[in-house]
Amino acid sequence: EAKLQAVYLGKPAMTRAGEPVLTYINVDDPHALPAIDPATCDGVGLTRTEFLFSGEGGLPGEGRQFGAYKALLQWAKGRPVTIRTLDAGGDKPIPGLTPDGELNPFLGLRGLRLSLARPDVFRVQLRALARAAVEGNLKVMLPMVTRPQELEATRALFETVVAELAAEGTAAAMPRLGMMVEVPAAALNIAAFDADFFSIGSNDLVQYVTAAGRDCDSVRDLYDPLEPGVLELIRRVAQHGRLVGREVSLCGDMASDPKYLPALLDTGLRAVSVAPARLARAKAQIAAYG
């Protein structure tokens, strides 16, 4: 591992044929960042903001969120930082916010669905993000998008919030707005989504395509990232991105497991976001590809 790090961590990821592959990191807990040199990656491909919401003391206010987002941007030193809006529900319940008693929370009010149902909570996060957008290279990403209308409703709300901040005399901007591709309906209809960038959430996409839960041991063999239907959807989304010139990355755990990287690169994907501890290994696997 130390040898891998010495050889690969310091340089950009590239296939054997010399094709660059953007290699971002996933951030679940910003406390891990000070130990990571931002120069070892191309930026942050996914920040799970649930860390702000799952602690004691209720929902985080605008100031606390802004401080956390600004710290991430400062750490990255101009590299892009992708911050995902709250993805509560499913495997990430938040007491007092996610609904109790849903028969199947993975198919219920979660992710962007919940944010749109709770504009009082969502607006606070969008205000903090709009303020952070003037502090660095920010990309905002929406989880669990199913229909284009959800993306458009969010963009409209975001623009309203930016206008409000401007009227208050607070520095703010509209960041690039992208979406996770983790619901099969969205993957199949990808050309209908006017997102600035796309990131495939394979953890959820695999479970929704195979109808095998991501945390369900009894059907673990069916929960297969290499299932042909999964790879076909990834291939289509990657191809769409190339066609319209918008970035497509993949930030699910699949990208962090070197055994899946060749299949991912075979789909045409040329951007991944991995767990920081897997960065060197991923770069090594990419270098061996082709």
Cβ atoms 269, 246 nearer than 8 A: no
Consult the annotation and say whether 127 binds a ligand: no
Number of residues that bind ligand PEP (CB under 6 A): 10
Q: How far apart are CB 273 and ligand PEP at their closest, in Å?
A: 8
Q: Which of 245, 234, 244 is nearest to 191 (CA)?
A: 244
Using the rule CB under 6 A, give the single segment among 97-105, 197-205, 227-235, 281-289 that binds ligand PEP: 197-205
Residue (23 or 172) nearer to ligand PEP, CB: 23
Helix axis angle for 148-168 and 119-132, nearest 10°, is 60
Give yes or no for residue 85 binding ligand PEP (CB under 6 A). Answer: no
Q: How far apart are CB 5 and Mg ion at their closest, in Å?
A: 28
What does the longest C-alpha to C-alpha distance in the chain come to? 55
The Cα 219–Cα 211 span in angstroms is 9
Using the rule CB under 6 A, give the single segment among 9-17, 75-83, 151-159, 199-207 that binds ligand PEP: 199-207
- Helix or strand holding residue 236 (H, E): helix 228-244
Q: Compute how many other C-beta atoms are within 10 angstroms of the C-beta atom of residue 3.
A: 9
Could you tell me the end-to-end alpha-carbon distance of the chain, in angstroms, rounded to an integer?
Answer: 22
Consult the annotation and say whether 131 binds a ligand: no
Consult the annotation and say whether 48 binds a ligand: yes
Cβ atoms 199, 249 nearer than 8 A: yes
Give yes or no for residue 204 binding ligand PEP (CB under 6 A). Answer: yes
Residue (142 or 162) nearer to ligand PEP, CB: 142
Consult the annotation and say whether 150 binds a ligand: no
Consult the annotation and say whether 253 binds a ligand: no
Q: How far apart are CB 48 and Mg ion at their closest, in Å?
A: 9
Site for ligand PEP in 16-55 (CB under 6 A): 46, 48
- Of 251, 255, 261, 280, the active-site residue reads 251
Residue 48's binding partner among Mg ion, ligand PEP, none (Cβ under 5 to 8 angstroms by kind) is ligand PEP
Give yes or no for residue 201 binding ligand PEP (CB under 6 A). Answer: yes
x/- map, 232-261, ligand PEP, by CB under 6 A? -------------------xx---------
Helix axis angle for 202-210 and 228-244, nearest 10°, is 130
Consult the annotation and say whether 110 binds a ligand: no
The Cα 18–Cα 21 span in angstroms is 9
The Cα 24–Cα 82 span in angstroms is 9
Q: How far apart are CB 79 and ligand PEP at their closest, in Å?
A: 19
Is 251 marked active-site? yes
Residue 202's binding partner among Mg ion, ligand PEP, none (Cβ under 5 to 8 angstroms by kind) is ligand PEP
The Cα 132–Cα 128 span in angstroms is 6
Give yes or no for residue 178 binding Mg ion (CB under 5 A). Answer: no
Q: DSSP secondary structure string, 170-221?
A: ------EEEEEE-SHHHHHTGGG---S-EEE-HHHHHHHHHT--TT-GGGTT
Please give the residue ranges that form the binding site for ligand PEP (CB under 6 A): 46, 48, 87, 182, 201-204, 251-252
Q: Give the residue numbers annotated as catalytic, written as ranges.
A: 251
Q: Which residues contribute to the annotated binding site for Mg(2+)?
A: 182, 204
